[in-house]
Amino acid sequence: MPPARTGVADYSVALLTQLQKQTEIEIESITCDVPVYHIGNNQLHRSIYQRALRRPGVVVIHDAVLQHFYLGSFRKSEYIEEFIFNYGEFALHEAESLWLDRPLSAQDPRYFNRPMLRRVVSTASAVVVHNPAAAKAVREHAPLASICEISHLYEPGERPSDIRCTAFRDQIGAGQNGFVFAIFGFLRESKRLNTILKTFERLHRMQPQTRLVVAGEFVSQDLERSSAEKLKQPGICRLSHLSPEDLKLAAASVDCCLNLRYPTAGETSGIAIRLMGAGKPVIVTEGEEWDRFPAEALFRIPSGAAEPEALFQAMATLTLRPDLARYMGSLAANHIQRYHSLSAAGTGISCATPSNRAHSPCSLLGRRSDGVATSGVDTHARWHSLVGKHLPARRHFACPYDSGSHAIRKRCGTITDLPVVCGPRVRRGGAGCARAP
């Protein structure tokens, strides 16, 4: 939670705002019926991680890699013990090698290929993820875990005025005819900043009306040093950490967001969701993280040797075809509004009592022959199945829901049939649910 300046903190505030509309919510409670833990890949989550192990509950995985969390938390012996717990005795030498090479962990794919998720997800009563890549990582570490994939929420807010947006563009020298790219958030090696700076230098020589906004704090001192001179080149505007209001203004004013990730931690970028919701095209590194999004709503580029040229082609195309950029942005905004709104990805609160179990949205679920649950309240029912089934009667639990058109009953029962696993199946109306094998 704030004052921590992280994406997880912003997400938690937005979710809390929605939850408080439904019921009374306690923060840092030791007496709650179902604890919900938000886990990320840094030291700010250390106490939350420890509490999730002491008293298991619902774990929301924001980064499907905890390698760097362990590298920063443990001594060598503890790290190796945890690595072996995840991958077995035969991984001893690999663990020792990764520990010795840990200064390279921010950009070495070996660390991202070993997420080390097993302990926290195997003890959780349910695991919530935001994309198929994260679900796959959890499943590989804990095959029996109850996994629920729920869209990363988007909180629109009021759009800044055209006058303020025009002033922002004039301030960075873009005017109304320039094309503005932007990078937002913490700056680390995996965001491919140096590749972006080199590519923009090439593009700016050909299209001088282009601009690049680089906004955010450096996480890596090495990256800050290596990019210092490149950030001084023409057409680049360097901004530090943006307040929520300043970020909203910048998002409304730019023309395209650059949101590359390699290696990836299986996260869903809150910045990308915010920019798409604002109607901006986003260029991303292709991967399973984006499988839920329409092909036309994102510019996906490959990682590796093909990345620089693919990035240049994408940026040049959007610069020369601003109509295409606007079209992609409109598709992105429509998708976000439909599947990522607070009503679609947020939460309703229900009371589990046997007397009104028949009125639970869970009881409304039908099943096709392939075992996929069919209902307009899929996400609502998924939270009942993942959270509610772990509670005795007359307890409270949280259950997000998909469709704002379906009323959420204040009191309903727990689900009592077979476990439900929310898998990566895509169908009209949202992700489907299938019986656990």
Question: Of all helices (H) and strands (E), which one includes residue 139?
Answer: helix 132-141
Strand, coil or helix: what is 213?
strand
Q: At 312, list the tokens.
A: 């240049």
- Determine the pLDDT at residue 1: 59
Report how far residue 45's alpha carbon sits from residue 65's, in angstroms, rounded to the nearest whole number: 13
Query: What pLDDT shows up at residue 345?
Result: 52
**All residues at 6 or more sequence positions from 189 whose CB lies less than 8 Å from its CB, including other chains:** 106, 107, 220, 222, 223
CA distance 237 to 255: 14
Structure tokens given for 198: 């080199």
Stretch(es) of the chain classified as CATH 3.40.50.2000: 162-340
Query: Phi and psi for 147 in degrees, rounded to 5?
Result: -110, 130
- 3-state DSSP percent of the chain in helix, strand and coil, to 5: 45, 20, 35
Distance CA 149, CA 155 (A): 19
What pLDDT is stored for residue 31 in this prediction?
72
pLDDT at residue 6, as a whole number: 63
Instruction: Answer for the pair 174, 236: CB distance below 8 angstroms, yes or no.
Output: no
Extract the residue ranges of the chain whose pLDDT is less than 70.
Answer: 1-7, 9, 14, 18-25, 29, 343-437
At 148 the pLDDT is 86
Q: Is 373:420 a contact under the CB 8 Å cutoff? A: yes
- Tell me if residue 397 falls in helix, strand or coil: strand
CATH fold label, 162-340:
Rossmann fold (3.40.50)
CA 392 to chain centre: 31
pLDDT for the residue numbered 383: 39
| 395-399 vs 348-352, strand pairing mode | antiparallel
pLDDT of residue 408: 24
Q: What is the pLDDT of residue 325?
A: 96
How many angstroms separate the CA atoms of 220 and 239, rounded? Answer: 16
